Amino acid sequence: MAYLVPTEFVTKMVDAGESKIYMSTRDTLVRAYMAGAILALAAVFAVTVAVASGSHLVGSILFPVGFCMLYLMGFDLLTGVFVLAPLAWLDRRPGVTWGGILRNWGLVFLGNFAGALTVAVMMAFVFTMGFNTEPGAVGAKLAAVGEARTLGYAEYGAAGWFTIFLRGMLCNWMVSMGVVGAMISTHVSGKVLAMWMPIMLFFFMAFEHSVVNMFLFPTAIMMGGDFSVLDYFIWNEIPTALGNLVGGLAFTGLTLYSTHYKTAPKRQLTAAVDSKAGNEALA
């Protein structure tokens, strides 16, 4: 499956980060919009499968299909650019500044949110026959999840907020491994396999993903979830996005960059070699 060694795919990561910073506003927004929409469809697909089968595991196994589709199409998630864009700055690529990085993050956030919200409205309409009927089992499940993952955290105050942050870190540790997975093979089958494994893990563990939540919580509100937009941002989206940023960059981006791209000098073995030569001479 044409595996690339770490030094090769980490170079691709840095190049990708630079490319995203220099991308036009139009292309950034379009690619982010489509990524948010596709991931939202994958999320509602996974929840629908889980409700129909009674198994969260089955839904988790199938959820990565959306992630694979969007990355094979070259679309961008906020969780991905959180990891890739700073690497170009660390590598001192010409013209790369923190202003450019923040611009990229902001545009991708807006595009992802717009795409996810579009699918949220469409699915809410579908679930309720144009808001004329009860939402059904899947809609009720989404509403319940929305309440549990906002008010459920708020009940514990600062400890709840920090729990979301940590779950966001763990999430993008895995999701960013999926982003890198798309770069470690030149064959579609290799890319899909490498992306599938960490994405399945994050979804089954119910870690917090900022873009999935851009779909989940607006849909939950439209399905009758008893929480507010302010609850959503304070008790989920903000700590989740911050956790995604820290986790993906610390556990994936910086570790791979530091050990496979900016490799530390090799140990000096001169003393050991001299000692061996001396022992051989005495013999």
Regarding predicted confidence, which is higher, 279 or 210? 210
Residue percentage of the chain with pLDDT more than 70: 94
pLDDT at 104 over 70: yes
* Mean pLDDT for the stretch of residues 68-97: 97
- The kind and range of the H/E element at 7 are helix 6-22
pLDDT value of residue 272: 56
Q: Share the mean pLDDT of the chain.
A: 94
Query: What dihedral angle (degrees, nearest 10) is formed by the CA atoms of 220, 226, 231, 235?
Result: -70
pLDDT value of residue 265: 84
Residue 28: pLDDT band (50, 70, 90) is very high
pLDDT value of residue 282: 56
pLDDT value of residue 248: 97
pLDDT value of residue 2: 84
pLDDT digits (tens, 9 = 90+) for 212-239: 999 999 999 999 999 999 999 999 999 9
pLDDT at 274 over 80: no
Q: How far apart are CA 119 and CA 43, in angstroms?
A: 10
* Mean pLDDT for the stretch of residues 4-30: 96
Look up the pTM and report it.
0.92
Residue 262: pLDDT band (50, 70, 90) is confident
Name all contacts of 148-151 with Cβ < 8 Å and 24+ positions apart.
149/208, 149/213, 149/216, 149/217, 149/236, 150/217, 150/227, 150/231, 150/232, 150/235, 150/236, 151/226, 151/227, 151/231, 151/235
pLDDT at 281 over 60: no
Sign of CA dihedral 132, 147, 141, 205: positive
pLDDT digits (tens, 9 = 90+) for 156-195: 999 999 999 999 999 999 999 999 999 999 999 999 999 9
Residue 279: pLDDT band (50, 70, 90) is low
pLDDT value of residue 267: 82
pLDDT value of residue 43: 97
